[in-house]
Amino acid sequence: MENTAKILAIKEGDQKVIHELYNAFQPKFVNWLKGRYKIKQIETCHEIYQRSFTVLYFNIKKDKLNDLQASIETYLFGIGKMVLKEWWREEKKQMDELDENMAPIEEVDIFGNLFDSTDDKNLLTNQIAAAMEKLDEPCKSVIRLFYWERNSMEAIASKLNYKNEQVAKKKKYLCIKKLKELLKQ
Amino acid sequence: MADNENEMEIFDAYLFDDASDKSAFDKRLQEDPEFNTRFEAYKTLTQAIEKVEILDFKANLNNWDKEKVTKPTKIFTLKWVGIAASLILLFGLGYIFLNQKSPEDLLAANFTPYDNIITVRGEKVSIDDAMTAYQNKNYTAAIQMFESLPNDIMTTFYLGESYMAAKEYEKATTAFLQINDEESLFYPIAEYHLALAYLGLNDIENSTLTLKKIKPTSEYYASAQDLLENL
């Protein structure tokens, strides 16, 4: 599969392709962490890989990789270096040599604060995750389709069989209200 | 929070629609504190909702990792029945499906020459040449060049890989057996490929022994377990 086809498949949320790519890059990525950066704990290697792959996924989803010239793998390893820097910052360790041979990915926003944010924000995120679990359909779908998959109101109306986009808009408003109510419980 | 669905639509346009005119909105944010408060509350909420998606995605990755360790057979099926076609496209190699179980077929289905992950530097001209030949799948030339280089773990590993690709399995085992340092980048893959080299020699006993030595912490543990089930 060509780079462009893979990017398109990921953007469309093709779980099979995402899963395949996740598995395909993992051994080499983990070996690279162990060999080049002497990270011995396999759990740490897997965590850094997961974070890097997550950043890759969301950058693709948010249309930041449309014109990617390098391979997805090269880009992933570039992300890996930056995620690793964040990791080491968390661990308060020095990794000066990480600046060597940095991949040319300066055109891409790396989601700098994807994994580290304030405790308040983490708390809210956890509360919303719990509230979303409790939400019934169609609210769960409405929120997913709009905030996660960036569907238009027209598309949501079509997918959920609403009469028109005005109905979908109203439904979304009510679903957000419902979510807020669940947060208060 | 937005007062009604129309205000929420305005907030959404500002937050998510790059094409919207933001200047009038910015002006209102400055001049209307209540509007500003409602907007900030909504923005915080949407950011948190987006972050839940990230957690959801990461949980999915965790599940995929767990499947690999606890259900090797299932992964085997998923991996080879489900993604074989993609693997061929990804790596450009002629994989053979694993319903044919002779040692030769198992080897062909499981061996992929390891990618060139060496950071090529200008001053290492000989390594550059050898790695280029290897990358271009000119394994005979790569073998000659790797053999002429100083005997370090990297050249030994790629020499072994070149022997594997050239189907010189006896020499491949000799090369892989020299990679003993468990901390080395190449150790896990060399260990796994040593088992495959034994398969190439039809030496099931040594292949099995080598596969059984692969620890659960190795990235090749699941693959080793898959292969053991088919030996």
Domains present along chain A, CATH in parentheses = 3-99 (1.10.1740), 119-184 (1.10.10)
Candidate ranges A65-69, A99-103, A161-165, B131-135; pick with highest mean pLDDT: A161-165
pLDDT band at B93 (very low <50, low <70, confident <90, very high): very low
Task: Please check whether residues B77 and B186 belong to one and the same domain.
Answer: yes
| Burial of B99 per CB tally in 10 Å (0-12, 13-18, 19+) | exposed
Nearest-CB residue to B52 (from A23, A40, A129): A129
Share of chain B above pLDDT 90, in %: 14
Question: Looking at the predicted structure, is the pLDDT value of residue B195 above 90?
Answer: yes
Q: Does B90 touch chain A (CB under 8 A)?
A: yes
Mean pLDDT of A43-51: 88
**Residue B75 above 60 pLDDT?**
no
What ipTM describes this predicted complex?
Answer: 0.76
Q: Is the pLDDT of residue B94 over 60?
A: no
Picking from B164, B161, B127, the residue whose alpha carbon sits closest to that of residue B146 is: B127
- Are B19 and B83 found together in one domain? no
* pLDDT score recorded for residue B121: 44
Q: What is the pLDDT of residue B211?
A: 92
pLDDT tens, B2-15?
667 788 888 888 88
Please report the pLDDT score of residue B184 as a whole number.
Answer: 74
B64 with A40: Cβ contact below 8 A: no
Residues B111 and B166 in one domain: yes
Confidence at residue B65, expressed as pLDDT on a 0 to 100 scale: 86
B108 shares its domain with B135:
yes
Nearest Cα of chain B lies from the Cα of A138 at a distance, in angstroms, of 16
Q: How confident is the model at residue B220 (pLDDT cuts 50, 70, 90)?
A: confident
Structural domain count of chain B: 2
User: What is the count of residue pairs from A and B with beta carbons less than 8 Å apart?
Assistant: 113
Contact check, Cβ <8 Å, B45/A180: yes
Contact A148 B89 (CB under 8 A): no
- Sequence letter at residue A107: E
Together in a domain, B80 and B152: yes
Identity of the residue in B5, B55, B57 whose CB atom sits nearest the CB atom of A169? B5
Nearest-Cα residue of chain B relative to residue A118: B48
**CATH code, domain with B164:** 1.25.40.10
In chain A, the largest separation of any two C-alpha atoms, in whole Å, equals: 59
A58 touches B at CB < 8 Å: yes
Average pLDDT over residues A49-57: 88
Write out pLDDT tens, residues B144-190: 888 888 788 888 888 999 999 888 999 999 999 998 888 777 888 89
Q: Are residue B54 and residue B94 in the same domain, yes or no?
A: no
The DSSP output letter for A68 is: -
Question: Which of B43, B67, B91 is the last residue in one of the domains?
Answer: B67
Both B63 and B76 in a single domain?
Answer: no
B9, B51: one domain: yes
Do B53 and A50 lie within an 8 Å CB cutoff?
A: no
Nearest CA in chain B to A71: B90
Lowest-confidence pick of A101-105, A166-170, B191-195? A101-105
pLDDT at A120: 59
Locate the chain A residue with the closest alpha carbon to B116. A28
CA torsion, points A7, A13, A17, A18, in degrees to nearest 10?
90
Residues B114 and B214 in one domain: yes
Range of the domain at B26: 5-67
Query: How far does CA B44 lie from the centroid of its chain?
Result: 35
Task: Examine the domain organization and report whether B63 and B109 are in the same domain.
Answer: no
Could you read off the pLDDT of A100-154 as tens digits, one per residue? 544 444 333 444 444 444 555 567 777 888 888 888 888 989 998 898 888 888 9
CB of B50 closer than 8 Å to CB of A148: yes
Question: Do B108 and B13 fall into the same domain?
Answer: no
* Nearest by Cα to A7 from A86, A61, A73, A85: A61
Q: Which of A30-34, A150-154, B91-95 has the lowest mean pLDDT?
A: B91-95
Cβ-based contacts of B57 with chain A (< 8 Å) = 54, 57-58
DSSP sequence for B41-87 = HHHHHHHHHHHHHHHHHHHHHHHHHHHHHH-HHHHHHIIIIISHHHH
Minimum CA–CA partner of B41 in chain A: A180
Does B179 share its domain with B84? yes
